[in-house]
Amino acid sequence: MTIDTIQIDVQPVEKSKLEDADLANLPFGKVFSDHMLVAEYKEGQWASCKIVPYTNLNLSPALCTLHYGQTIFEGLKAYKNDKGEALVFRPYDNYQRMLKSAERMCMPAVPEEIFIGGIRQLLTLDHGWIPTHQGASLYIRPFMFGADEFIGIRPSDTYKFIIFTCPVGAYYTEPVNVKIETEYTRAFPGGIGSAKTAGNYAASLYPARINQEKGYHQLIWTDGIEHKYIEEAGTMNIMFRKGNQIFTPNPSDTILNGITRRSVVQLAKDWGYDVQERPVEVQEVIDLLKKNELDEAFGAGTAATIAHIIRIHHKGVDYELPPVSQRTFSNKVLKTLDDIKYGRIADPHGWIMHI
């Protein structure tokens, strides 16, 4: 099989688990639909690709990825419109980002037929797993890892690429309380911060945990050299509004270039806001907070779409932001994105892939 002639073999489940699943009460990321796609790369090419019943993997204890972390992933969502059709939000953008992550992590490019074609076939088979109640969706998790049974530091020669899906309910929608982190760092210049790879998330676990114990939902990450510039909020991009200005850190090699972030930037430009993608200093945000001139701050990411930030902690002081009910921009952008994703309004930028 070569990249030009990829065929996805399908082995459907004998009995669906769907009738035992409670799609109206879904914990995030714990319920998995019937099928998964598994593709294998060896001897310099994608050697097989199949859709099989969702099941455990059989892995060697010497699997290189378990030790050295050569693994990348993506996260995107499918929704159902009123006619029951499946709509996927910006899958080609996730595909392009996965190619970039793969390059940074010395991994092979996944062919479009496997990534996009695989999502199409999986969603056709598991259409019934896309929930229909308000705020719910089917989370799609493509990922790839080095599959060599090998102890030593070098890129793997063999890889597995897998896609599975999970029906998920509306994400935690309470406004979040965050702390600007000035000791620990998520990503460094020249490092892997702009790749969607496991090491970045592993690095964030300890600082996130000690601060959750102090009552902060998330950390605002700052640059690893001076802790002077704002980078991201937890596992989301961060955006601010002051009057007609929307400002957000520009993508760099320490920031994951989010697809939600790009969608918000596009809508803000469509609506005539002065959108600034540029370095954002911690001090600039603190000065605005002190003068009560920061109208909105929010995280942007696939899981929550928009997470309103209600309080920001910095160096011993808690700064309150205006109530969520007054947030003209982020409430409007959240509603518009939801309306596009659920097919309730026109899709002016061609973001939706119909299955």
Which residues of this chain interact with ligand PLP, rule CB under 6 A? Answer: 75, 232, 235-237, 256, 258-261, 300-302
The residue nearest ligand PLP at its CB is: 258
The 10 Å CB-count burial string (b at 16+, else e) for 243-262 is eeebbbbeeeebbbbbbbbb
To the nearest 10 degrees (0 to 180), the angle between helices 259-270 and 91-104 is 130
The SS3 assignment for 188 reads coil
Radius of gyration for the chain, computed over Cα atoms and rounded to the nearest angstrom: 21
Of 70 and 197, which has the nearer Cβ to ligand PLP?
A: 197
Residues 19, 22: Cα–Cα separation, whole Å:
8
> Minimum CB separation from ligand PLP for residue 351, in Å?
12
> Minimum CB separation from ligand PLP for residue 310, in Å?
20
Residues 288, 10: Cα–Cα separation, whole Å:
56
Of 75 and 128, which has the nearer Cβ to ligand PLP?
A: 75
Q: What is the DSSP string of 86-133?
A: EEEESHHHHHHHHHHHHHHTT-PPPPHHHHHHHHHHHHHHTGGGS--S
> Minimum CB separation from ligand PLP for residue 270, in Å?
18
With tokens 């899709």, the residue in question is: 347
> Minimum CB separation from ligand PLP for residue 75, in Å?
5
Of 74 and 295, which has the nearer Cβ to ligand PLP?
A: 74
Of 51 and 309, which has the nearer Cβ to ligand PLP?
A: 309
* Residues comprising the chain, all counted: 355
Of 42 and 141, which has the nearer Cβ to ligand PLP?
A: 141
Asked if 264 contacts 298 with a C-beta cutoff of 8 angstroms, the reply is: no
Of 71 and 260, which has the nearer Cβ to ligand PLP?
A: 260
> Minimum CB separation from ligand PLP for residue 94, in Å?
7
> Minimum CB separation from ligand PLP for residue 198, in Å?
11
Of 39 and 98, which has the nearer Cβ to ligand PLP?
A: 98
Q: Output the CA–CA distances (angstroms, integers) from residue 52 to 35, 71, 168, 234, 298, in the order listed.
A: 6, 22, 21, 34, 39
